[in-house]
């Protein structure tokens, strides 16, 4: 079965086998070597200077990393501007409500790009989901960075479904942190996630959560330590996935691979009359959403493709009636996509 949902992804055999390594106590030096290597490799994925940036690992899914970032990086007297374009932007607003973080939401239509002309008021931070997996929209970070630079606001990015494939300009001084996960563009397994934080911004952070306290996690990991029991096997898989990532050419190679597969899917579906919801220019290379053809329910589409060996993904909420999503993350080839398109052709 091949997974075309946005994570967990189809693993390479090498990463799958890495789960079968020896049992490992997280208080032994072998574990800290593993933790150090993951943290170094995460920074290397975007060529980041360890003096300026730190990769803070945690056990939990992408939401854990996002929550850890939001709960720590906005100070008690801070105010967050949340630029929302889907379910994951909405989730950040829910986190703010839960922690009593002062915030304002800019929502607008999920089908339209972020409209910064609607921004008014003063803030300390801005949050944005880089790739809004709800629709496949890749939010353009450049105008957001420019706004943040001009106003002196810190930018907090949910890069859960973009880190490892899409470009992120970490050189921009506005970027304070990016939250992401092991089991999407990096091709690891669920259970490990992380925040790439600017050290100067992190030094001022104070977390509102106990378990996901970003500052404590960073301090202890810098001392080759860990506060709790991490998902050791997820770390085994992540380090192997990161080694493979580097050997395959790193972020740029992964971008090209996804881009080619996403275009193959787009062109193949267009040829049978299935259109993308957003233009390729507005979409990520990671996942695209497509309109359900008239008379074809998502349930039937899902079940027939599953019988052919592919798991696709429904639209979220009310979008489940109108669209479906296909991700090209994971260990996939052009031949796999050819087979997928053959399954689609048989439907009609
Ligand atoms: C952009 C984005 N943010 C956050 C999440 C939440 O990640 P998780 O389901 O791993 O908690 C997802 C999951 O797909 C996502 O795509």
pLDDT tens-digit readout, 183-233:
999 999 999 999 999 999 999 999 999 999 999 999 999 999 999 999 999
Residues whose CB is less than 8 angstroms from the CB of residue 197 and which lie 6 or more positions away in sequence, other chains included: 53, 54, 56, 69, 73, 176, 177, 205, 214, 218
Buried b (16+ CB within 10 A) or exposed e, 223-250: eeebeeebbbbbbbbbbbbbebbeeeeb
Does the CB atom of residue 215 touch ligand 1 within 6 A? no
How many H-runs (helices) and E-runs (strands) does the chain carry? 11, 14
CA dihedral 24, 30, 36, 40 (to 10 degrees): -90
Does the CB atom of residue 217 touch ligand 1 within 6 A? no
Q: List phi, psi (to 5°) of 185.
A: -65, -15
pLDDT of residue 348: 60
Distance of CA 164 from the midpoint of ligand 1 (Å): 14
- Give, in degrees to the nearest 5, the angle at Cα 60 between 56 and 61: 100
pLDDT of residue 318: 84
CB 145 within 8 A of CB 124: no
> Which atom number of ligand 1 is nearest to the Cα of residue 7?
14
Cα separation, 76 vs 206, whole angstroms: 8
> What is the mean pLDDT for each group of 10 consecutive residues in the chain (348 residues)?
98 98 97 98 98 98 98 98 98 98 96 93 97 98 98 98 98 98 98 98 98 98 98 98 98 98 98 97 98 94 97 92 96 98 90
Q: Whose CA is nearest to atom 7 of ligand 1?
A: 62
pLDDT of residue 118: 81
Q: Three-class SS of residue 8? A: coil
Does the CB atom of residue 160 touch ligand 1 within 6 A? yes
pLDDT of residue 317: 86
- Give, in degrees to the nearest 5, the angle at Cα 251 between 250 and 257: 95
pLDDT of residue 332: 98
Does the CB atom of residue 181 touch ligand 1 within 6 A? yes
CB 46 within 8 A of CB 251: yes
Cα separation, 331 vs 161, whole angstroms: 16
Count CA within 13 A, CB hemisphere, residue 234.
Answer: 20
């Amino acid at each position: 079965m091949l997974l075309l949902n946005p994570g967990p992804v189809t693993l390479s055999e090498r990463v799958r086998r890495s789960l079968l390594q020896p049992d490992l106590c997280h208080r032994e030096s072998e574990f800290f070597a593993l933790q150090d290597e993951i943290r170094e490799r995460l920074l290397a994925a975007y060529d980041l200077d360890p003096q300026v940036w730190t990769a803070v690992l945690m056990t939990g899914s992408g939401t854990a990393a996002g929550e850890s970032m939001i709960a720590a990086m906005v100070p008690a007297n801070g105010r967050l501007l949340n630029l929302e374009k889907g379910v994951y932007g909405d989730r950040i607003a829910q986190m703010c409500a839960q922690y009593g973080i002062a915030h304002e939401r800019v929502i607008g239509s999920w089908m339209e790009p972020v409209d910064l002309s609607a921004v008014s008021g003063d803030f300390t931070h801005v949050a944005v989901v880089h790739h809004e997996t709800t629709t496949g929209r890749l939010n353009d970070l450049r105008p957001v960075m420019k706004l943040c630079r001009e106003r002196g606001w810190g930018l907090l990015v949910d890069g859960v479904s973009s880190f490892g494939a899409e470009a992120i300009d970490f050189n921009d001084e506005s970027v304070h942190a990016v939250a992401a996960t092991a089991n999407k563009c990096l091709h690891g397994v669920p259970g490990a996630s992380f925040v790439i934080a600017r050290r100067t911004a992190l030094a001022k952070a104070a977390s509102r959560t106990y378990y996901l306290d970003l500052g404590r996690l960073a301090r202890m990991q810098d001392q080759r330590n860990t506060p709790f029991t991490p998902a050791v096997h997820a770390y085994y898989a992540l380090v192997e996935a990161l080694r493979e990532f580097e050997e395959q050419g790193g972020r740029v190679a992964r971008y090209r691979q996804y881009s080619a597969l996403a275009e193959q899917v787009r062109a193949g579906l267009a040829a049978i009359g299935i259109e993308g919801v957003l233009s390729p220019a507005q979409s990520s290379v990671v996942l695209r959403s497509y309109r359900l053809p008239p008379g074809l329910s998502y349930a039937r589409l899902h079940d027939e493709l599953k019988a052919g060996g592919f798991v696709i993904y429904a639209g979220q909420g009310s979008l489940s009636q109108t669209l479906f999503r296909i991700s090209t993350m994971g260990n996939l080839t052009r031949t796999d996509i050819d087979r997928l398109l053959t399954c689609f052709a048989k439907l009609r």
